[in-house]
Structure 1
């Protein structure tokens, strides 16, 4: 018999489960935890699921695995994504869409073993064409795409440099990380630079304590840098 290559299996994922949504959906259907547990045992072959386990999921004391989440969604007549909080990783987005690793690997045109390794490492290394296919199959927004492909840290680094020095020198580098038109990047970086500079201007305070005003402006500047990626996407969305 031909030798089949070993495909590493990812550990059972723990998606960002939305316990409140699960509890709300169950109540809307008029179901008790016992009904949910029975449905998961009878219809999805999960004999170990008990009412206590369902209650633990709904109270945030435990988190369902990928297969458990899909089964729970089936019992609650909803899409798996309705039971998932805001996904951030490649694996979490896949689980939220109810897809198997094989589904995504086939859709983007990579070997299953390569895809699983990228998912485990949290580092996407596909081509531009494969990246576009990934965004399509996982229905990724542009911010999600940047996060999933491991580019968010690099984007944050570039944005901090742009707002604290000369933003013009960062346009091309940001464009390599984020697939946006150059004019959009220029306008957003210019606005961010001006906003950051505005945060650094001491605001007069009662009593004329200049040191207090300077400290306040410094705190505002640090806060701006901490949320610089969020500011970027907010300004892109406005534009």
Structure 2
């Protein structure tokens, strides 16, 4: 059984994205009913308000457990908290997914606990390069997750939008500062994205304004440009 910490009774504390289907499957695999899960959370984790109906609501996606409830639920279902949540997005969500307490992460990266908690609350990482490397290690972050967790997704998106709409060559170095990739890979990715976007624009401008579909595709490309970027990177590095 993965070690879990006894949660403090804070039922209203928001939790990370919850994977309701995984919770239901794990419970069924153990041969447990919602009443068994609720009983375990009440008795072993001191959460007296957890009822079978609440467990069912979590599993149906009608409600989501907060941080203490997620930790307790993982303990009752003999799994890690990470198995019960969707893809983490924020610093706090990644920490919870790894089953770590805030003090564990703060100690590992060499930051005072109050300062670390402020970064979680404001969703803005302010660590040094050494602390950032330690953060990526303790939370098991890959490069896309690291960029998102350190609050640089929007900066990356702005650079990428400029790269695909103007001369991409001038954005290789600025993008590399945020996403330190092999230069050849980065050049190939930016060039391909530039060609892709310009193709959308050419379709929009041709034949008296192009079709609504081509215009929508261009806007969607820009809206999801960071996602397109990481997909292209994975394609060229795998």
Pairwise CA distance, 1:125: 0.6
Mapping 1:43-58, distance limit 5 Å:
43-58=44-59
Distance between the aligned counterparts of 2:81 and 2:215, measured in 1?
44
Pairwise CA distance, 1:223: 1.7
CA RMSD of aligned residues (A): 1.7
Report what 2:222 is aligned to. Answer: 225
Report what 1:99 is aligned to. Answer: 100
Change (3 A) 1:234 1:184: same
Mapping 1:1-239, distance limit 5 Å:
12-202=13-203, 210-211=207-208, 213-239=210-236
> How many residues of Structure 1 are paired with residues of Structure 2 in the alignment?
224
* 2:220 partner SS: helix
Any unmatched runs of 5+ in structure 1? Answer: 1-10, 204-208
Distance between the aligned counterparts of 1:17 and 1:221, measured in 2?
32
Distance between the aligned counterparts of 2:172 and 2:44, measured in 1?
54
Pairwise CA distance, 1:217: 2.8
Change (3 A) 1:215 1:60: closer
Distance between the aligned counterparts of 1:103 and 1:135, measured in 2?
14
CA contact (8 A) 1:108 1:131 kept: yes
Pairwise CA distance, 1:212: 6.5
CA contact (8 A) 1:37 1:54 kept: yes
Distance between the aligned counterparts of 1:219 and 1:69, measured in 2?
39
CA contact (8 A) 1:200 1:220 kept: no
TM (norm. structure 1) is: 0.88
TM (norm. structure 2) is: 0.89
